[in-house]
Amino acid sequence: MKTNFFENIAGLNAPGMWTIGIQNDENGNFTVSALYAPFKSNEPATKMITPLIHRGTASDMDEGFFEATLTQVDSLKGLYSNIKAVNASVDAAKKKIGQGNKPQPAKPKAEGSADQIEVGEPKVSAEEKRKTYTDTIRKVVELNDLCKYEDALNILPSVEDYPEKKEELEKRRADLERKKTQYAQALTLFNEA
């Protein structure tokens, strides 16, 4: 049997990640969830997008699935493009501000003066930082095992705090986001059944 399902996806001209869930019942009715996201999208705003849910018979799906999905994909392509443009403009503004506000050299202080007290975050040793990271990742793994993906995402260390762990943290975040979405979809489909 030949289908043109993948040709239709290619025809949408939207490279990225597709998450499609299909459920059918004994009466021949289908529930299909489709979620599109471009590759390497770590934007927090994009995590709020819910999948498009289609319901109908097999012939309804054959006739209308791609037309309905095309609308969502077109709007999401624009959303992702806009997010990239906004981030680029913010980065440009930060660079421009940085050029105009060069730090002034510090004036030498008289030894023993009261204004020599350092203010800021306390220094954390490398060992303490490593231990904090390890303990937090243990908690993330425990929450993951309990299917508490939102809680795990909330305590996952940030790449800004641990730039040397960027690849691992991004991989964990993507995995937790994927599981959270799948879990939510499964609960929705289960509750509807």
Does residue 116 belong to any structural domain of this protein?
A: no
Q: Which residue has the higher pLDDT, 78 or 170?
A: 170
Q: What is the pLDDT of residues 31-66, one digit of tens each?
A: 988 887 766 566 666 666 777 788 889 888 888 887
How many Cα atoms sit within 13 Å of 74 on the Cβ side?
7
List beta partners, residue 29: 57
Q: Are residues 131 and 58 in the same domain?
A: no
Helix (H), strand (E), coil (C) string for 71-125: HHHHHHHHHHHHHHHHHHHHHHHHHHHHHHCCCCCCCCCCCCCHHHCCCCCCCCC
Does residue 119 belong to any structural domain of this protein?
A: no
169, 130, 140, 172 alpha-carbon torsion, rounded to 10°: 10
Q: What is the pLDDT of residues 115-173, one digit of tens each?
A: 444 445 556 788 888 888 888 999 988 888 888 888 889 899 888 888 898 999 999 99
Among candidate residues 83, 117, 144, the one where a domain is terminated: 83
104, two tokens: 């002034």
List beta partners, residue 23: 31
CB 172 within 8 A of CB 139: no
Structural domain harbouring 148: 126-193
Q: What is the pLDDT of residues 10-21, one digit of tens each?
A: 887 777 778 888
| The model's pTM | 0.41
Does residue 121 belong to any structural domain of this protein?
A: no
Question: In total, how many domains does the chain have?
Answer: 2
